[in-house]
Amino acid sequence: MKYHFVQLASVKTFFWGVLILTIVAFAAITVLQPLSNVVMNNHVMFYMVMITLCGSLLFLCHFLVIAVLTYCYNAVSPGVQETLPGCTVIVPAYNEGEHVAETLYSLMECDYPPEKLEIIAINDGSKDDTWKWIKKVADTSAGRITPVNLRKNGGKKHALYTGIKTAKFELIVTVDSDSIVEKSALKNLVAPFSDPAVGGVAGYIRVKNINKGIIPLLMDIGFVFGCEFIRRAQSVVGSVLCTPGALSAYRKSAILPYCDEWLEQTFLGVPSHIGEDRAITTLLLRNGFKVVYQANAVANTCVPENYRQLCRMLIRWTRSDVRENIVLGKYVYRQNPLRSFPMLILQINLTMQIFGFVLASIAIPFWLLTAVISFSTLHYIFIGTLFMTALWSAIPVVTYYKECAKNDLIWVFVFGVYSLFALSWIIPYSIFTVRNSKWLTRDIMVAGRKHSSGRKFGVVRAFRLARIAINTQTVSQYSAFDTMTDEQILNRVYFSNPMSFKNFSGE
């Protein structure tokens, strides 16, 4: 990989960084100076401040390393159509209803040779009409979609296992059944496999339902930071720690020998039904394969829209991270980091993630205890916390400013404050309940989606109906759909080819 150190910072990045740090430093001098007297006279608070500052300094040094690696990243360019490899896409679905149809439509519209693309849609014992929608789309796919109906729900991992075992191509792509992949996503996603050492590739995930409230917007900020900052850096050394379930790819020969171990994985004697994406990434890294990130392979996925759903999802993710950090650590820390720069960075990244979990589990309870014991200093603790949050939010701001309008950057600071005050309890809670393998969000998310479809979903669905029903006309003729109502779109489709639309819709 060719590194371009001239990409380390643009003029805008430098300007925003200096401006934000200047404002924060001024706030620290003018607002937090009275805190020094309180800290010196309170031993408990003194030690907590020292632990927090030392931890923050350590993380800042780590982030500087990540920043350098991030700007050394370059996505792999896709090959021409004739040289693209065969690819099997697996879409496991449970109680997704018509949402799974949207996912399948987006896959069929990808810029990928149909003869080199196999799509396996798996109904994992759904209790709703998911299987009906899978069959309906498969019947109009001219054999491009292979529907599989598992009558008993065995979990996402079991559904993926079934698809991997039956896949006919060497490259396997996994897509969540509530995700929409962009047209060029597949060919971009498989490009890094030109390197035989690459065993897995992570896609770039954005939020599909971003207009459904503040929580999806904040989650999108988190996704951008995680992908465009953290995973870019990890990719440079070939050690991305998690390939997201929404869009990832694997080399079948790399994962097939370990599929049974992956399926039957247990933690503290309990079968592991969560974190299948993080677990398969751990298997690849543990067995010497590179796992990289492709910033040009984009998928949009649904995220929770209320606080309860969000917490349940984050608890599941954090429990999985805690488990896999332990599993991966047993391998990583036995290696000599001085013999390999990528191994050194992997050890540093894993150590800092573990340290972050430990620090959060210790610091949060002690800060709460300090606030109770020294109630008179509560306002100082609050001000100090806001200061640290503003300081750390400056890093996502630099990452996110390219992805949004400048007046939306305030939401990055909102994300920092919200994460601290509303979500910081999740890490210690997940650590103490790490043995729990319940999925937590499946039934809740299904219930929530019944009331979440709006105009955006209607337009997209009607547009895809048109593309399937009217095979004789080009997509460019329907570019005006974005400015039409759902009823106008459906009427235009119907009057253009009523028999085709009638057959497709089952009327």
Distance CA 366, CA 356 (A): 15
292-341 tens-digit pLDDT: 999 999 999 999 999 999 999 999 999 999 999 999 999 999 999 888 89
Tell me the pairing of strands 270-271 and 171-175. Answer: unpaired
Question: Residue 492's pLDDT is what?
Answer: 47
Nearest to 385, CA basis, from 425, 413, 411, 420: 420
Q: What is the DSSP string of 351-362?
A: HHHHHHHHHHHH
| pLDDT the model gives residue 9 | 41
Provide the strand spans (E) within 107-255. Answer: 117-124, 145-150, 171-175, 179-181, 198-207, 247-251
Which pTM was predicted?
Answer: 0.78
Predicted confidence at residue 377, as pLDDT, reads: 58
Q: What's the rounded Cα separation, in Å, for the pair 507 and 495?
A: 15
The 3-state DSSP composition of the chain as helix, strand, coil percent (nearest 5) reads 65, 10, 25
Q: Which residues pair with 293 in a beta bridge?
A: 202
- What would the DSSP string read from start to end of 14-55? HHHHHHHHHHHHHHHHHHSHHHHHHHHT-HHHHHHHHHHHHH
**pLDDT tens column, 406-443:** 666 677 777 877 887 788 889 889 998 988 887 766 55
User: Quick one: pLDDT at residue 450?
Assistant: 45
User: CA 161 from chain center: how many Å?
Assistant: 21
What is residue 208's predicted lDDT score, i.e. its pLDDT? 92
458 CB-contact burial (10 Å; exposed 0-12 / middle 13-18 / buried 19+): middle
- Rounded CA gap, 78 and 52, in Å? 45
Which residues, given as ranges, of the chain have pLDDT below 70? 1-49, 367-409, 440-507
246 to 73, 125, 286, 304: CA distances (angstroms) = 22, 20, 23, 14
Give residue-wise pLDDT tens across range 109-125.
999 999 999 999 999 99
